[in-house]
Amino acid sequence: MSVAATKPLLSAIDIVQEYAQPEGKVLRVLDKVSLTFEQPSINMLLGPSGCGKSTLLRMFGGVRPWNVATPTSGRVEIEGQACVGPHPDAVMVFQHYSNRPDLTVRQNVMYPFRFNEWKRRVSEKDAAQRVDQMLAEVGLADKKDLYPSQLSGGQNQRVALARALVLRPKVLLMDEPFGALDAQTRSHMQQLLAKLHEVHRCLVVFVTHDVTEALLLGDRVIVLSTQPAKVIDDFSIEVRQPRSAEWLNGVEVREMHERVVGHLRAAGAHGNVRVSV
Ligand SMILES: Nc1ncnc2c1ncn2[C@@H]1O[C@H](COP(=O)(O)OP(=O)(O)O)[C@@H](O)[C@H]1O
Ligand SMILES: [Mg+2]
Protein backbone atom coordinates (compact mmCIF):
# COMPACT_ATOMS: atom_id res chain seq x y z
CA MET A 1 0.00 0.00 0.00
CA SER A 2 1.32 3.45 -0.89
CA VAL A 3 1.98 6.06 1.76
CA ALA A 4 -0.69 8.32 0.24
CA ALA A 5 -3.37 5.65 0.66
CA THR A 6 -2.89 5.65 4.44
CA LYS A 7 -3.57 9.39 4.69
CA PRO A 8 -7.09 10.77 5.16
CA LEU A 9 -8.77 11.43 1.85
CA LEU A 10 -9.55 15.01 2.83
CA SER A 11 -8.56 17.04 5.84
CA ALA A 12 -8.87 20.61 7.02
CA ILE A 13 -6.25 21.42 9.61
CA ASP A 14 -6.71 24.46 11.87
CA ILE A 15 -8.32 26.53 9.13
CA VAL A 16 -8.58 30.24 9.90
CA GLN A 17 -10.09 32.57 7.32
CA GLU A 18 -10.12 36.31 7.74
CA TYR A 19 -11.39 38.92 5.30
CA ALA A 20 -10.31 42.56 5.31
CA GLN A 21 -13.14 45.00 6.05
CA PRO A 22 -13.39 48.76 5.53
CA GLU A 23 -11.50 50.98 7.97
CA GLY A 24 -8.79 48.39 8.52
CA LYS A 25 -11.09 45.98 10.38
CA VAL A 26 -10.74 42.24 9.94
CA LEU A 27 -13.65 39.81 9.75
CA ARG A 28 -12.75 36.37 11.08
CA VAL A 29 -15.04 33.90 9.32
CA LEU A 30 -13.54 30.48 10.14
CA ASP A 31 -11.89 29.95 13.49
CA LYS A 32 -9.52 26.97 13.65
CA VAL A 33 -11.79 24.54 11.86
CA SER A 34 -10.34 21.02 11.76
CA LEU A 35 -12.16 18.18 10.03
CA THR A 36 -11.01 14.82 8.69
CA PHE A 37 -12.84 12.71 6.14
CA GLU A 38 -11.56 9.18 5.72
CA GLN A 39 -14.29 7.16 4.08
CA PRO A 40 -16.35 7.42 0.94
CA SER A 41 -19.46 8.82 2.60
CA ILE A 42 -21.96 11.68 2.46
CA ASN A 43 -21.05 14.46 4.89
CA MET A 44 -23.59 17.21 5.45
CA LEU A 45 -22.33 20.62 6.49
CA LEU A 46 -24.82 22.94 8.19
CA GLY A 47 -24.48 26.35 9.78
CA PRO A 48 -26.11 29.76 9.92
CA SER A 49 -26.17 31.80 6.75
CA GLY A 50 -22.91 33.69 6.27
CA CYS A 51 -20.93 31.56 8.74
CA GLY A 52 -18.40 30.42 6.16
CA LYS A 53 -19.71 27.15 4.69
CA SER A 54 -19.08 28.13 1.06
CA THR A 55 -15.70 29.57 2.00
CA LEU A 56 -14.70 26.22 3.53
CA LEU A 57 -16.14 24.13 0.69
CA ARG A 58 -14.34 26.20 -1.95
CA MET A 59 -11.13 25.71 -0.02
CA PHE A 60 -11.67 21.93 -0.18
CA GLY A 61 -11.91 22.31 -3.96
CA GLY A 62 -8.79 24.47 -4.12
CA VAL A 63 -10.86 27.42 -5.41
CA ARG A 64 -9.42 30.74 -4.30
CA PRO A 65 -11.31 34.06 -4.25
CA TRP A 66 -9.60 36.70 -6.37
CA ASN A 67 -9.28 39.27 -3.60
CA VAL A 68 -7.75 37.41 -0.68
CA ALA A 69 -5.31 34.68 0.28
CA THR A 70 -7.04 31.57 1.56
CA PRO A 71 -6.80 30.11 4.06
CA THR A 72 -5.35 32.85 6.24
CA SER A 73 -3.71 30.06 8.22
CA GLY A 74 -4.03 26.29 8.42
CA ARG A 75 -4.20 23.98 5.45
CA VAL A 76 -6.32 21.61 3.39
CA GLU A 77 -4.86 18.26 2.40
CA ILE A 78 -6.05 15.68 -0.07
CA GLU A 79 -4.48 12.29 0.61
CA GLY A 80 -1.81 14.01 2.65
CA GLN A 81 -0.83 16.49 -0.07
CA ALA A 82 -1.40 20.21 0.51
CA CYS A 83 -4.27 21.36 -1.69
CA VAL A 84 -3.34 24.81 -2.98
CA GLY A 85 -5.24 25.02 -6.26
CA PRO A 86 -7.99 23.25 -8.21
CA HIS A 87 -7.55 19.53 -7.70
CA PRO A 88 -8.51 17.03 -10.40
CA ASP A 89 -9.89 14.59 -7.82
CA ALA A 90 -12.13 17.18 -6.14
CA VAL A 91 -15.07 18.44 -8.19
CA MET A 92 -17.70 21.03 -7.24
CA VAL A 93 -21.45 21.32 -7.90
CA PHE A 94 -23.18 24.63 -7.09
CA GLN A 95 -26.76 25.73 -6.61
CA HIS A 96 -26.44 27.65 -9.88
CA TYR A 97 -25.55 24.70 -12.01
CA SER A 98 -23.37 26.66 -14.48
CA ASN A 99 -24.26 24.63 -17.55
CA ARG A 100 -23.11 26.27 -20.76
CA PRO A 101 -26.16 27.57 -22.62
CA ASP A 102 -24.53 27.13 -26.04
CA LEU A 103 -23.80 23.42 -25.55
CA THR A 104 -26.20 20.49 -25.62
CA VAL A 105 -26.72 18.28 -22.58
CA ARG A 106 -24.25 15.74 -23.93
CA GLN A 107 -21.68 18.40 -24.84
CA ASN A 108 -22.00 19.88 -21.35
CA VAL A 109 -21.24 16.55 -19.71
CA MET A 110 -18.40 16.00 -22.21
CA TYR A 111 -17.01 19.48 -21.49
CA PRO A 112 -14.36 18.67 -18.82
CA PHE A 113 -12.66 16.26 -21.21
CA ARG A 114 -11.58 19.24 -23.31
CA PHE A 115 -9.01 20.11 -20.68
CA ASN A 116 -5.49 18.75 -20.88
CA GLU A 117 -5.57 17.07 -17.47
CA TRP A 118 -8.55 14.98 -18.58
CA LYS A 119 -7.31 14.43 -22.12
CA ARG A 120 -4.24 12.91 -20.51
CA ARG A 121 -6.22 10.76 -18.11
CA VAL A 122 -9.05 9.50 -20.34
CA SER A 123 -9.05 8.61 -24.05
CA GLU A 124 -11.67 10.20 -26.31
CA LYS A 125 -13.42 6.85 -26.77
CA ASP A 126 -13.58 6.15 -23.04
CA ALA A 127 -14.79 9.68 -22.35
CA ALA A 128 -17.65 9.27 -24.83
CA GLN A 129 -18.61 5.93 -23.25
CA ARG A 130 -18.49 7.41 -19.76
CA VAL A 131 -20.65 10.36 -20.81
CA ASP A 132 -23.35 8.13 -22.33
CA GLN A 133 -23.32 5.88 -19.27
CA MET A 134 -23.56 8.90 -16.98
CA LEU A 135 -26.44 10.42 -18.94
CA ALA A 136 -28.32 7.14 -18.56
CA GLU A 137 -27.60 7.07 -14.81
CA VAL A 138 -29.05 10.54 -14.27
CA GLY A 139 -32.04 9.79 -16.52
CA LEU A 140 -31.16 12.19 -19.33
CA ALA A 141 -30.27 9.81 -22.18
CA ASP A 142 -33.31 10.94 -24.15
CA LYS A 143 -32.51 14.62 -23.57
CA LYS A 144 -28.89 14.52 -24.67
CA ASP A 145 -29.37 16.76 -27.73
CA LEU A 146 -31.38 19.45 -25.94
CA TYR A 147 -29.94 22.74 -24.69
CA PRO A 148 -30.05 23.86 -21.02
CA SER A 149 -32.78 26.42 -21.78
CA GLN A 150 -35.01 23.54 -22.88
CA LEU A 151 -34.65 21.78 -19.52
CA SER A 152 -36.24 22.25 -16.08
CA GLY A 153 -34.18 23.31 -13.05
CA GLY A 154 -34.02 19.72 -11.81
CA GLN A 155 -32.88 18.45 -15.21
CA ASN A 156 -30.22 21.16 -15.38
CA GLN A 157 -28.95 20.09 -11.97
CA ARG A 158 -28.82 16.49 -13.26
CA VAL A 159 -26.55 17.72 -16.06
CA ALA A 160 -24.29 19.44 -13.52
CA LEU A 161 -24.20 16.30 -11.38
CA ALA A 162 -23.42 14.14 -14.41
CA ARG A 163 -20.60 16.50 -15.46
CA ALA A 164 -19.09 16.17 -11.98
CA LEU A 165 -19.48 12.40 -11.56
CA VAL A 166 -18.31 11.57 -15.09
CA LEU A 167 -14.83 12.49 -13.83
CA ARG A 168 -15.15 9.80 -11.13
CA PRO A 169 -13.90 12.24 -8.51
CA LYS A 170 -12.63 11.05 -5.17
CA VAL A 171 -14.19 14.13 -3.57
CA LEU A 172 -17.51 15.66 -4.65
CA LEU A 173 -18.23 19.08 -3.15
CA MET A 174 -21.83 20.30 -3.31
CA ASP A 175 -22.87 23.80 -2.26
CA GLU A 176 -26.63 23.87 -1.58
CA PRO A 177 -27.12 22.07 -4.91
CA PHE A 178 -30.87 21.52 -4.51
CA GLY A 179 -31.61 24.77 -2.66
CA ALA A 180 -33.33 26.48 -5.59
CA LEU A 181 -35.54 23.55 -6.56
CA ASP A 182 -39.19 23.04 -5.63
CA ALA A 183 -39.91 20.50 -2.88
CA GLN A 184 -40.88 17.63 -5.17
CA THR A 185 -37.92 18.06 -7.50
CA ARG A 186 -35.61 18.43 -4.53
CA SER A 187 -36.88 15.14 -3.14
CA HIS A 188 -36.24 13.40 -6.50
CA MET A 189 -32.73 14.82 -6.63
CA GLN A 190 -32.00 13.69 -3.08
CA GLN A 191 -33.10 10.15 -3.99
CA LEU A 192 -31.01 10.29 -7.15
CA LEU A 193 -27.90 11.41 -5.27
CA ALA A 194 -28.31 8.63 -2.69
CA LYS A 195 -28.69 6.09 -5.52
CA LEU A 196 -25.74 7.44 -7.52
CA HIS A 197 -23.58 7.38 -4.41
CA GLU A 198 -24.15 3.63 -4.09
CA VAL A 199 -22.35 3.27 -7.43
CA HIS A 200 -19.96 6.25 -7.30
CA ARG A 201 -18.46 5.68 -3.88
CA CYS A 202 -16.80 9.06 -3.51
CA LEU A 203 -16.49 11.33 -0.52
CA VAL A 204 -19.30 13.87 -0.68
CA VAL A 205 -19.23 17.10 1.33
CA PHE A 206 -22.65 18.69 0.95
CA VAL A 207 -23.56 22.14 2.27
CA THR A 208 -27.24 22.60 3.09
CA HIS A 209 -29.46 24.77 5.26
CA ASP A 210 -32.17 22.10 5.20
CA VAL A 211 -31.98 19.97 8.35
CA THR A 212 -34.32 17.34 6.91
CA GLU A 213 -32.09 17.01 3.85
CA ALA A 214 -29.06 16.57 6.12
CA LEU A 215 -30.73 13.73 8.03
CA LEU A 216 -32.06 12.09 4.89
CA LEU A 217 -28.71 12.00 3.08
CA GLY A 218 -25.97 12.29 5.67
CA ASP A 219 -23.72 9.50 6.91
CA ARG A 220 -22.30 12.30 9.00
CA VAL A 221 -23.70 15.70 10.01
CA ILE A 222 -21.38 18.57 10.89
CA VAL A 223 -22.73 21.81 12.34
CA LEU A 224 -20.81 25.09 12.29
CA SER A 225 -21.48 27.95 14.68
CA THR A 226 -22.09 31.52 13.67
CA GLN A 227 -19.08 33.73 12.73
CA PRO A 228 -16.35 33.11 13.53
CA ALA A 229 -17.35 29.54 12.75
CA LYS A 230 -16.18 26.59 14.78
CA VAL A 231 -17.41 23.00 14.60
CA ILE A 232 -20.12 22.80 17.28
CA ASP A 233 -21.53 19.36 16.51
CA ASP A 234 -20.41 16.39 14.48
CA PHE A 235 -22.26 13.06 14.54
CA SER A 236 -22.74 9.94 12.41
CA ILE A 237 -25.94 8.33 11.15
CA GLU A 238 -25.38 4.65 10.54
CA VAL A 239 -28.63 3.89 8.72
CA ARG A 240 -28.20 2.66 5.16
CA GLN A 241 -29.79 4.21 2.08
CA PRO A 242 -32.51 4.28 1.04
CA ARG A 243 -33.79 5.45 4.41
CA SER A 244 -37.34 4.34 5.07
CA ALA A 245 -40.23 6.74 5.64
CA GLU A 246 -40.78 4.89 8.92
CA TRP A 247 -37.28 5.74 10.13
CA LEU A 248 -37.47 9.29 8.83
CA ASN A 249 -40.69 9.88 10.75
CA GLY A 250 -39.44 8.13 13.87
CA VAL A 251 -38.27 9.32 17.26
CA GLU A 252 -34.54 9.02 16.50
CA VAL A 253 -34.77 11.44 13.57
CA ARG A 254 -36.99 13.83 15.52
CA GLU A 255 -34.36 13.97 18.25
CA MET A 256 -31.53 14.57 15.78
CA HIS A 257 -33.63 17.23 14.07
CA GLU A 258 -34.21 19.04 17.36
CA ARG A 259 -30.54 18.74 18.24
CA VAL A 260 -29.42 20.42 15.00
CA VAL A 261 -32.17 23.04 14.97
CA GLY A 262 -31.27 23.80 18.59
CA HIS A 263 -27.68 24.54 17.58
CA LEU A 264 -28.76 26.70 14.67
CA ARG A 265 -31.32 28.62 16.73
CA ALA A 266 -28.69 29.20 19.41
CA ALA A 267 -26.50 30.58 16.64
CA GLY A 268 -29.28 33.02 15.80
CA ALA A 269 -30.21 31.51 12.46
CA HIS A 270 -34.01 31.61 12.83
CA GLY A 271 -34.80 33.16 9.47
CA ASN A 272 -32.20 31.25 7.48
CA VAL A 273 -32.81 27.67 8.38
CA ARG A 274 -35.34 25.46 6.69
CA VAL A 275 -36.44 23.09 9.43
CA SER A 276 -38.85 20.94 7.44
CA VAL A 277 -39.73 20.16 3.82
N1 LIG B 1 -14.01 36.95 -1.16
C2 LIG B 1 -14.52 37.51 -0.06
N3 LIG B 1 -14.08 38.73 0.38
C4 LIG B 1 -14.59 39.28 1.51
N5 LIG B 1 -15.53 38.70 2.29
C6 LIG B 1 -16.00 37.50 1.92
C7 LIG B 1 -15.53 36.85 0.73
N8 LIG B 1 -16.18 35.65 0.60
C9 LIG B 1 -17.01 35.56 1.66
N10 LIG B 1 -16.91 36.67 2.45
C11 LIG B 1 -17.64 36.89 3.72
O12 LIG B 1 -17.41 35.75 4.53
C13 LIG B 1 -18.57 35.36 5.23
C14 LIG B 1 -18.90 33.92 4.94
O15 LIG B 1 -19.33 33.79 3.60
P16 LIG B 1 -19.77 32.36 2.99
O17 LIG B 1 -18.64 31.41 3.10
O18 LIG B 1 -20.32 32.62 1.64
O19 LIG B 1 -20.94 31.92 4.02
P20 LIG B 1 -22.08 30.79 3.91
O21 LIG B 1 -21.80 29.96 2.70
O22 LIG B 1 -21.98 30.03 5.19
O23 LIG B 1 -23.39 31.50 3.81
C24 LIG B 1 -19.67 36.35 4.82
O25 LIG B 1 -19.74 37.35 5.83
C26 LIG B 1 -19.16 36.92 3.51
O27 LIG B 1 -19.60 38.24 3.32
MG1 LIG C 1 -22.93 29.65 0.96
Task: Judge whether 117 lies within some domain.
Answer: no
Task: Judge whether 145 lies within some domain.
Answer: no
- Give the whole-angstrom CA distance, residue 226 versus residue 52: 8
Domain at 245, CATH number: 3.40.50.300
Q: Which residues contact 120 (CB under 8 A, 6 or more apart)?
A: none
Q: Give how many domains the chain has, as a whole number.
A: 1
Compute the distance from residue 68 Cα to the ligand 1 centre, in Å: 11
Compute how many other C-beta atoms are within 10 angstroms of the C-beta atom of residue 101: 8
pTM for the predicted model, two decimal places: 0.94
Task: Judge whether 5 lies within some domain.
Answer: yes
Range of the domain at 223: 1-89+172-179+202-277
Task: Judge whether 121 lies within some domain.
Answer: no
- Backbone φ and ψ of 62, nearest 5°: 70, 20
Task: Judge whether 259 lies within some domain.
Answer: yes
Counting ligands in written order, the one closest to the CA of 175 is 2
Mean pLDDT by 10 residues, the chain (277 residues): 71 96 94 95 96 96 86 96 91 91 98 93 97 98 98 96 97 96 96 97 97 97 96 97 94 97 81 43
Mutate which of 15, 18, 51, 55 for ligand 1? The one with the most ligand atoms within 8 Å of its CB, which is 55
Task: Judge whether 152 lies within some domain.
Answer: no
Looking at residue 97, what is its pLDDT?
78
Of the chain, the end-to-end C-alpha distance in Å amounts to 45
Q: Which residues contact 76 (CB under 8 A, 6 or more apart)?
A: 10, 11, 12, 13, 15, 59, 60, 62, 82, 83
- Give the whole-angstrom CA distance, residue 153 versus residue 148: 9
Task: Judge whether 251 lies within some domain.
Answer: yes
Looking at residue 188, what is its pLDDT?
97
- Backbone φ and ψ of 200, nearest 5°: -95, 90
Sequence-ordered alpha helix ranges (H) in the chain: 53-60, 105-110, 116-121, 124-137, 153-165, 183-199, 211-217, 245-248, 251-266
Looking at residue 269, what is its pLDDT?
58
Task: Judge whether 128 lies within some domain.
Answer: no
